[in-house]
Amino acid sequence: MSKSKSNWENNVIIIAVIIVVIIIIYLVSAGRINLTTKIDKNEEESIEETKRKHARLKNHLEKQKALREKLAKRFWWIYFVTRLIFVVLWGLLVFILSKLHLAQNLGDFLNYFEAIFIGFIVLNFLAFGNLTNLNSFLENIKNRLENRVWGKYINIDDKIASNEEEINRLSDQIKKSK
């Protein structure tokens, strides 16, 4: 038994020495060795290649900005038309009520609109339960509409920002080389 106990003690001492050596190496080299340094490949590129890349990125950025503006206009028009449809439906309802002689004065119109509003509240309660669920349903519809309009360009703002940063970096590099 004394052999296995002696062997165990030797193993523990070896493990402790290895751990202490690793800790000392880490403490000594932690501030000096930078394992995340990157070699900037753009420094090795010629100035002409940098200028071409800069011009290409500028053209691409202009196209992206034009596309973002076009999609924003399309999205705005869809919302405008939707609101316009609701106003036209309301006007059509007023016209129908007046043509059918169901409402003759403002009080009659208000009574019908109150009845319609109460009907909408009842339908909302039956379908959604409360206003929070209705808001989440409407937000879901808005998100789906956004996804249809913007499609694969949903993150175009991030791409534009990264391209602008790249253009600024290339501009600085071109200025430094002159």
Which tens digit of pLDDT belongs to each residue from 104-159? 888 888 999 999 889 988 888 888 777 778 788 888 888 888 788 777 787 888 88
User: In whole numbers, what is the pLDDT of the chain averaged over residues?
Assistant: 81
| pLDDT for res 42 | 46
Place 82 in a pLDDT band, splitting at 50, 70 and 90: confident
The predicted pLDDT at position 83 comes to 85
Q: Could you write out the DSSP letters of every residue in 66-130?
A: HHHHHHHHHHHHHHHHHHHHHHHHHHHHHHHHHHTTS--SHHHHHHHHHHHHHHHHHHHHHHHSS
> How much is the pTM?
0.52
The average pLDDT across 56-74 equals 90
Give the Cβ contact number of residue 71 at 10 Å. Answer: 17
Report the C-alpha gap between 129 and 136 in whole angstroms: 12
Closest Cα to residue 163, out of 85, 7, 58? 58
The string of pLDDT tens digits covering residues 22-45 is 887 777 776 555 545 444 554 555
The three-state (H, E, C) secondary structure of 34-71, written as one string: CCCCCCCHHHCCCHHHHHHHHHHHHHHHHHHHHHHHHH
Provide the pLDDT for residue 128: 79
Residue 34 backbone dihedrals phi, psi, to 5 degrees: -110, 105
pLDDT of residue 44: 52
Q: Which residue, chain included where needed, has tokens 């950025």? A: 61
For residue 134, what are its two tokens?
């209705």
Q: Are the C-beta atoms of residues 58 and 167 closer than 8 Å to each other?
A: yes
